[in-house]
Structure 1
């Protein structure tokens, strides 16, 4: 609007006839309308796609009217220089800008205003083009920043929703499976087994309370888990379900994020095992190897379904969740079927060269009679 006002001021000083003044105003409106389309292309996508045609039209309207309006039209090349910087390819924009500035200098000389105005006209055209380009580019960047911020907000909300869904699945899977198993067992107990029924109901209550703790933990951004505690929980659950379980190996102290990830892998692998197989034996192996820690969970009793169906084939659950968690700590997860009836999940996570480790207790034996889990521990 300011540049348009300057151009109108030049027309008023030229003392044109009413028809000439009207023609000048209409031409100026077209020129500055084209400039708006060039500066804010997102407001008019159709014109933006034809930017070279509109730029050519602006070139004509910036120079041809000079034949009629003379010095009253000296302000037009300035906005044209801004359009050149906005529209043309990188290798052409600055040469074209320089040519427009040079041409405005020639127009000043041709208008007869004197050589004293040459320097002023050249600087004015240069600054006008740079201001038009700078404000237009700034507006585009601000618009893009707002759009990017909206996209990042949407992505953050979506990521949080996926985290919430994944944590619910991974953390509550074993608890809910255990509750379902024990409820079914309690329902089938005869009335004479009152003591056993009380025991099962007590364990159901404890498992439910643990599930409530997991639900509260899901609402937090990060939940640290102890691998040692998870091993004991898994072994206790398998013992109650009549599954023969073996633990072999030791990993020592681990970084908190890696220990939490491996504890989650162990829990989800056992949950999938209980849901999708007629398991009789479960083997868990944990050891360090060349700057990495390896966790393997294997079980027999694989049913006749295809391997892809094991561990929930739906995206976002089961093995897909575990794979995402392992890849988040630069590890890898593999699943395979061996000997027809054995299914194994293996997670390998690299260990940082120097990092702080958690102060979780080391893996303790499942039975008090054993001093430490090194080599092998078995529960039946």
Structure 2
């Protein structure tokens, strides 16, 4: 009982029409005044007046419910509107308004073809119902249906289609924004992993070196501690840059950092890097890949030598990083977060990543090198 009471209270409180339709559906109820046009010339009897009030009391909720109807319910509402009109044809030519409302209810039918057929069926039923009237009454009944029924119905259907398209577009925009948010989070996660992994490895190596030098060479130890401080500050700046997606130093900074990391780990570096004009996106991908690759060389490879080369081949920037570490076959390659993130970033700019394990590990990255600005390693 309480649920029924709550349902009635909720229905009474409204809104009676979905908010996206605005206030116009309430305004169109004024069209029912056409039923009273007859009584400006002919006084209604008590029974006729009572039937009119009852008809309007039943039709108005039906009309409001048609805005929430779906599927077969729409057809039921249209048929009920036609029945109301047919019941009044003989006594009141204003019954035409019920058929016009029935045409407008076709807006609830999603397929255009079916909606047009439903409007045509309503007009056909109106023509059949007009047979109950005679002479001038039939003309007064048919004139508004034939002149307004089709335009009102087609206009309502087109407006509903436009509204549905707008709602679908809004949903698509929300999905795109959601996917963009996820992609940005993944980008930041990958960048932070690569940046912090590299920087913390460098700090750990220099801290270990400083510990060994603290009793043997105080000056060298102080220099290493200074490098640790500088690396920590640089890591903080890079994390801030990664969050905003902007890096001013790009590949040149990554190369300088790679030199310092490999030197601290006592890994000999062979460098053959050409000056290539790179688009910001491509440079960012190569810089992060270089950082991650050097971090892996320092932490996992057990290498004594490392080579880095960058060259332009038919409009494609090719970055190769090779070491003489422990990898001898594909089974020795660890596909962790670093390599997965590297592959995703390369693919995001239309590039390719290749891994080869022979006498050590070799990474080859190929990315489109759109002309943007020079790189100064």
Instruction: Establish whether TM, by shorter chain, passes 0.5.
Output: yes
Structure 1 residue aligned with 2:272: 248
Q: Does 1:32 align with 2:63?
A: yes
Contact 1:74-1:108 at 8 Å conserved across structures: no
1:69 is aligned, of 52, 77, 88, to 88
RMSD: 3.1
Instruction: After TM superposition, give the deviation of residue 286 of structure 1 in Å.
Output: 2.1
Q: 1:319-334 residue pairs with structure 2 within 5 A?
A: 319-334=339-354
Gaps of 5+ in 2: 1-25
Once structures 1 and 2 are overlaid, which stretch shifts more, 91-100 or 168-177? 91-100
How many Å separate the matches in 1 of 2:124 and 2:37? Answer: 26
Instruction: After TM superposition, give the deviation of residue 179 of structure 1 in Å.
Output: 0.4
Contact 1:175-1:211 at 8 Å conserved across structures: yes
Instruction: After TM superposition, give the deviation of residue 207 of structure 1 in Å.
Output: 1.4
Structure 1 residue aligned with 2:373: 358
Structure 1 residue aligned with 2:119: 97
Structure 2 residue aligned with 1:318: 338
Q: 1:83 to 1:18 in 2, by over 3 A?
A: closer
How many Å separate the matches in 2 of 1:134 and 1:331? Answer: 46
Equivalences, count: 341
How many Å separate the matches in 2 of 1:258 and 1:359? Answer: 12
1:175 is aligned, of 196, 199, 207, to 199
1:127 is aligned, of 151, 162, 166, to 151
How many Å separate the matches in 2 of 1:218 and 1:228? Answer: 16
2:325 partner SS: coil
Contact 1:172-1:211 at 8 Å conserved across structures: yes
Contact 1:292-1:350 at 8 Å conserved across structures: yes
1:7 partner SS: helix
Contact 2:116-2:154 at 8 Å conserved across structures: no
Q: 1:11 to 1:337 in 2, by over 3 A?
A: farther
Contact 1:277-1:303 at 8 Å conserved across structures: yes
Contact 1:78-1:124 at 8 Å conserved across structures: yes
Q: 1:328 to 1:108 in 2, by over 3 A?
A: same
1:288 partner SS: strand
Q: Does 1:274 align with 2:298?
A: yes
Q: 1:124-273 residue pairs with structure 2 within 5 A?
A: 124-248=148-272, 250=274, 252-273=276-297
Instruction: After TM superposition, give the deviation of residue 74 of structure 1 in Å.
Output: 1.6
Q: 1:278-357 residue pairs with structure 2 within 5 A?
A: 278-302=302-326, 307=331, 310=334, 312=336, 317-339=337-359, 342-352=360-370, 355=371, 357=372
Q: Which structure has more RCO (C-alpha within 8 Å, separation ≥ 6)?
A: 1
Deviations 1:192-213 (A, max 9, x none): 3312211211211221222132
Deviations 1:310-367 (A, max 9, x none): 252xxxx41222222212221111223235xx22221111234xx3x31333x4xxxx
Instruction: After TM superposition, give the deviation of residue 283 of structure 1 in Å.
Output: 2.0
Contact 1:104-1:122 at 8 Å conserved across structures: no
Q: 1:95 to 1:67 in 2, by over 3 A?
A: closer
TM-score, length basis structure 1: 0.77
Contact 1:307-1:336 at 8 Å conserved across structures: no
Contact 1:104-1:125 at 8 Å conserved across structures: no
Instruction: After TM superposition, give the deviation of residue 142 of structure 1 in Å.
Output: 4.4
Q: Does 1:78 align with 2:100?
A: yes
Structure 2 residue aligned with 1:57: 76
TM-score, length basis structure 2: 0.77
1:296 partner SS: strand
Gaps of 5+ in 1: 39-47, 364-380
How many Å separate the matches in 2 of 1:295 and 1:65? Answer: 79
Deviations 1:239-296 (A, max 9, x none): 2211122223635333333223212211111112323332222222322222312111
Structure 2 residue aligned with 1:369: none
